[in-house]
Amino acid sequence: MNNNIDGNATPAITTGPNIINFSSIFSLEELVNNIYGRIPIPLKKNRKHMFITELGLNIEKLKKDIWDFKKGLLPGAQKHLKEYKKNLAGGIEYYKKLADQIIDDKKQRFLADLQKLARTLDALTI
């Protein structure tokens, strides 16, 4: 055992949310080579920008937490949920400012996706 790590343990590898963008199944070796820039892995052509995907996941998490709060599963969480919603709204405003740095042919879709998420967030009541 080195550094309190069991050398016989089976390593676990988990994927991030962008796994949905892969266009087929790849080996671990191919994924590692892609991470280190040795080979390109083809991705879905019509995928959403990573900021939009991440924002959508956060809004879905907030929705779930609000539902849990309203069902009494998260007592005392109202202040936290309001702050979380406020931070997401601030993130949307920040992303709007970043939109000018996005390639023109993708900018309109980015802004449209952002607007849709903003409406979803605005509709959430705590």
State mean pLDDT over 66-94: 95
pLDDT for the residue 17 = 64
Residues 110/56, Cβ–Cβ less than 8 Å: no
Residues 79/39, Cβ–Cβ less than 8 Å: no
Q: How far apart are CA 26 and CA 11, in angstroms?
A: 18
Indicate if the pLDDT at residue 48 is higher than 90: no
pLDDT for the residue 124 = 96
Model confidence pTM above 0.75 = no
pLDDT for the residue 113 = 96
The pLDDT-based confidence of 84 (bands split at 50, 70, 90) is very high
Q: How far apart are CA 84 and CA 102, in angstroms?
A: 26
- DSSP calls for 27-86: -HHHHHHHHTTSS---B-TTPPPHHHHHHHHHHHHHHHHHHHHHTTSSTT-HHHHHHHHH
The pLDDT-based confidence of 47 (bands split at 50, 70, 90) is confident
| Amino acid at residue number 114 | L
Which residues lie across from 2 on neighbouring strands?
A: 5
pLDDT for the residue 12 = 72
Q: How many CB atoms lie within 10 A of CB 7?
A: 6
- DSSP calls for 76-117: T-HHHHHHHHHHHHHHHHHHHHHGGGS-HHHHHHHHHHHHHH
- Listed ranges 3-12, 18-27, 61-70; the one with the highest mean pLDDT: 61-70
Higher-pLDDT residue of 86, 101: 86
Q: How far apart are CA 36 and CA 30, in angstroms?
A: 10
State mean pLDDT over 29-54: 87
pLDDT for the residue 35 = 84
Higher-pLDDT residue of 78, 100: 78
Name the one residue in this structure whose structure tokens are 């903003």: 118
